[in-house]
């Protein structure tokens, strides 16, 4: 949150108004403990929600042995990841305002008054750097602009842990001041907001910051909340634009799947978990009982779009192949890129009646970009795990 009262720009303590950049040189009256406490609380709560939803997304994609992701409710991941991205974007102005409010304290002198104070100030490095890093990499990633050499998911993931750790240290150090600044500002000598100075007062400053944040959320949330899709002006995707009326991240041509020979197509169902391996043509699949389900494609980048899918339930194929009730499946794509070539169906997803090998969407045969001739679509899964151009189910 913010430094204790003696460090404030209005009331520099002995020794802190010396050094290379005296804190008293920063004169804005908006920079007080109450402003910093309000912004800090918002950043703290927002980052905690982003952390929880982000770690959840990580666990779903790379599940450790103790984690089994549910297939219901069907739109849960759509909600958690949509929240992650919209909230992350809306936090950017609040984070910047928090940094602006408190950065004069970075120059307070002497740099450390005690070992504990020194450690607390050292924790500002990962906190500040990490928070800016998360915002920048997140924002660039959803805009598919990745001017770096590292793997986005690993960098963003480990930075999140670093930031949350540093945030706990920071919160612990600033807890008392924050509480007082929020509940009893007069005891810190903090003046009421209105009429505080001829310039910008606290209420106007905070109003401007939170209004900016609200507008960012309003102009982004349409990427996942269809009724506001026309307002999705600050994000690269609208849920109703793309082949067959919804977006595509990976196009068929980019992975050699633009021209699949339907006559030569075979779906193979095999692996240690099956009693009778299957090899099915497209006509075999079409002649099996079909099921329809309204399910979202919920991209890790936060956009999502619901469609009506039709195809063969994976569990029917498993039953036909003699697989057990707890069978798990690796879904393998025919694409020629190794990235996102496979996805896992845990036992709940594999046996959910709405987990389909879809042949149609909204009454039309799938377009190549949506995975023609056969794609996986199941409830409550990230879009990257809804494998397209499926050629094989490996059952264990
Ligand atoms: C502008 C702000 C942000 C945006 C736009 C953003 C965007 C994203 C995106 C698109 C992903 C999915 C990556 C993928 O699975 O391919 C993601 C994952 C994640 N985010 Fe953020 N994020 C932001 C801020 C934050 C913040 C503030 C935190 C934590 C405090 C955070 C923590 C995480 C974590 C832990 C993951 C999981 C990474 C993984 O799968 O390994 N993000 N974020």
Q: Give the pLDDT score at 13.
A: 38
Lowest mean pLDDT among 12-16, 247-251, 379-383: 12-16
Predicted pLDDT of residue 220: 98
Burial 274-304 (b: 16+ CB within 10 A, else e): beeebebebeebeebebbebebbbbbbbbbb
Q: CA distances (Å), 191 to each of 85, 187, 197, 321, 381, in order?
A: 36, 10, 10, 74, 51
Quick check: helix, strand or coil at residue 356?
strand
**What is the C-alpha separation between 47 and 343, in angstroms, rounded?**
29
The Cβ of residue 393 has, within 10 Å, a number of other Cβ atoms equal to 27
At 21 the pLDDT is 76
Cα separation of 93 and 298, whole Å? 26
Look up residue 151 and give its two tokens.
């793997």
Distance CA 188, CA 180 (A): 8
| CA dihedral angle for residue 336, residue 310, residue 80, residue 137, rounded to 10 degrees | 30
Which tokens go with 190?
A: 């903090």
Tens-digit pLDDT profile for residues 73-131: 999 999 999 999 999 999 999 999 999 999 998 888 888 999 999 999 999 999 999 99
Q: Which atom of ligand 1 is nearest to the CA of 48?
A: 30
Average pLDDT, the chain: 93
Residue 89 Cβ < 6 Å to ligand 1 = yes
42, 47, 48, 50, best to mutate for ligand 1 pocket (most atoms within 8 Å of CB): 50
What pLDDT is attached to residue 11?
41
Indicate if ligand 1 lies below 6 Å from the C-beta of 44: no
Residue nearest atom 36 in ligand 1 by C-alpha distance: 54
């Amino acid at each position: 949150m913010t430094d204790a009262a003696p460090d404030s720009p209005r009331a520099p303590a002995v020794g802190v108004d010396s050094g290379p950049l005296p804190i008293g040189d920063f004169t804005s009256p908006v920079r007080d403990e109450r402003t910093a406490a309000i912004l800090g609380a918002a950043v703290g709560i927002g980052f905690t929600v982003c952390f929880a939803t982000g770690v959840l997304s990580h666990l779903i994609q790379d599940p450790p042995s103790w984690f089994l992701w549910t297939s219901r409710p069907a739109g849960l991941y759509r909600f958690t990841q949509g929240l992650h991205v919209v909230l992350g974007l809306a936090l950017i102005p609040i984070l910047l305002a928090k940094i602006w409010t408190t950065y004069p304290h970075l120059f307070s002198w002497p740099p450390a008054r005690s070992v504990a104070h020194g450690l607390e100030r050292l924790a500002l490095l990962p906190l500040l750097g990490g928070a800016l890093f998360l915002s920048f990499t997140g924002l660039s990633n959803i805009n598919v602009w990745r001017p770096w050499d590292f793997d986005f998911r690993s960098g963003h993931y480990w930075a999140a842990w670093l930031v949350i750790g540093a945030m706990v240290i920071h919160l612990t150090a600033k807890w008392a001041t924050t509480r007082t600044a929020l509940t009893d500002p007069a005891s810190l000598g903090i003046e009421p907001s209105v009429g505080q100075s001829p310039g910008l007062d606290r209420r106007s400053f905070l109003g401007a910051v939170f209004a900016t944040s609200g507008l960012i959320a309003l102009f982004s949330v349409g990427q996942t909340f269809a009724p506001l899709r026309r307002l999705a002006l600050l994000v690269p995707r609208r849920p109703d634009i793309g082949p067959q009326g919804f977006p595509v991240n990976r196009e068929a041509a980019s992975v050699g799947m633009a021209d699949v020979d339907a006559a030569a197509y075979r779906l193979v169902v095999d692996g240690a978990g099956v009693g009778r391996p299957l090899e099915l043509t497209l006509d075999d699949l079409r002649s099996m009982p079909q099921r329809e389900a309204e399910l979202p494609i919920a991209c890790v980048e936060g956009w999502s779009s619901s469609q009506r899918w039709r195809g063969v339930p994976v569990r029917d194929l498993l039953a036909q192949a003699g697989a057990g009730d707890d069978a798990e499946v690796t879904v393998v794509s025919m694409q020629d890129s190794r990235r996102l070539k496979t996805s896992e169906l845990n036992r709940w997803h594999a046996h959910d009646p709405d987990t389909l090998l879809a042949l149609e969407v909204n009454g039309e045969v799938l377009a190549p970009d949506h995975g023609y001739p056969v794609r996986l679509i199941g409830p409550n899964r990230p879009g990257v795990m809804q494998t397209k151009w499926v050629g094989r189910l490996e059952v264990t």
